[in-house]
Structure 1
């Protein structure tokens, strides 16, 4: 579904993807598989942001004692809660609203498994400029990726923060017993140049935040 809007007429009305989610067998109670597929779909929307104005995940909340729909983004009871892997995907796309979409090209032999997008924005909290590169690997194998940035001096250096959402098994879920079983893990990659070598885990969503 990531290419759904690729051939949509640009002369018609804007689109609001009002409710989306992977459900039924592939979703379980909120699986990694569903979250990675949704991330790939969202990147497709991001790449078509000239025609797709808004998008929302649904449903948002679920009371564990009165579940009317599965899965949901946030599960709660009277005193505790956790976010599903789909919730954490939403967090990775927060800055997409109001950001500048940057043109990018993905050269790969795994065209049906990898998708990527790039945005830039100014963080109002630290007043720094960011470039975020998001890559989804929807395949069963580890993928290597060479990232090249154009338009900067060759001597340009970036502070780089890498965030990865993945898990051991594609049907892994969070729960009250294990609320952080599938959550993004963040690491600092230090000072990097305009070329980055990345290793992408199977069934993963990886984000590179470059600060300049």
Structure 2
């Protein structure tokens, strides 16, 4: 039996909808990454590109990190990437979305452990035009999931075309809320 493995090299959303690194581009990339995560038995690696750009020599849009001689900022895509950093070595779990908006949602669920702690992370990307309320149940994982102390992390902004800049480096950045 031949085991197929893939490396997804140099992905990024670009052209007019991406601007110089819009929230819309980051959401599309996040939806793409949930698909890669759900297929991690085949997709072994993926790389966002380009990673860095000196604003004085910009030849390509978007980039994850923009800098000049004295300052820098992360684009929405950079901040989205940080939300996927624990995925390596995690266990992927089946996930079903039951919603009238399920066509505009992409999601993945993983668990991992470190230093005696177990973690569950469910990533849900809403690339639709409506806010969606979600209810997460952990069928088969109830014994190992404790919602106490859980958080919700949201990457959002007032407009999907919002971008970060030197004057507003954290216009689009994730926010962490306590789960009640």
In 2, the alpha carbon distance for the partners of 1:141 and 1:76 equals 34
In 2, the alpha carbon distance for the partners of 1:130 and 1:68 equals 40
What corresponds to 2:89 in structure 1? 98
Name which of 184, 187, 212 aligns with 2:177.
187
In 2, the alpha carbon distance for the partners of 1:119 and 1:184 equals 19
Deviations 1:60-99 (A, max 9, x none): 0000000021110000001110000000111000001111
1:77 aligns with 2:63: no
Worse overlay, 165-174 or 101-110:
101-110
Structure with more helix by fraction: 2
1:116-127 maps to which residues of 2 (within 5 A)?
116-124=107-115, 127=116
1:13-28 maps to which residues of 2 (within 5 A)?
13-28=4-19
TM-score of the aligned structures, taking structure 2 as reference length: 0.93
In 2, the alpha carbon distance for the partners of 1:146 and 1:163 equals 15
1:107 aligns with 2:98: yes
In 2, the alpha carbon distance for the partners of 1:101 and 1:172 equals 32
SS at 1:37 equivalent:
helix
Question: How far is the alpha carbon of 1:105 from its aligned partner?
Answer: 1.4
SS at 2:57 equivalent:
coil
Structure with more strand by fraction: 1
Unaligned runs of 5+ in 1: 1-9, 191-212
Question: How far is the alpha carbon of 1:12 from its aligned partner?
Answer: 5.3
In 1, the alpha carbon distance for the partners of 2:132 and 2:160 equals 16
In 1, the alpha carbon distance for the partners of 2:4 and 2:146 equals 41
In 1, the alpha carbon distance for the partners of 2:58 and 2:138 equals 46
TM-score of the aligned structures, taking structure 1 as reference length: 0.79
Q: CA RMSD in A?
A: 1.9
What corresponds to 1:40 in structure 2? 31
Question: How far is the alpha carbon of 1:28 from its aligned partner?
Answer: 0.3
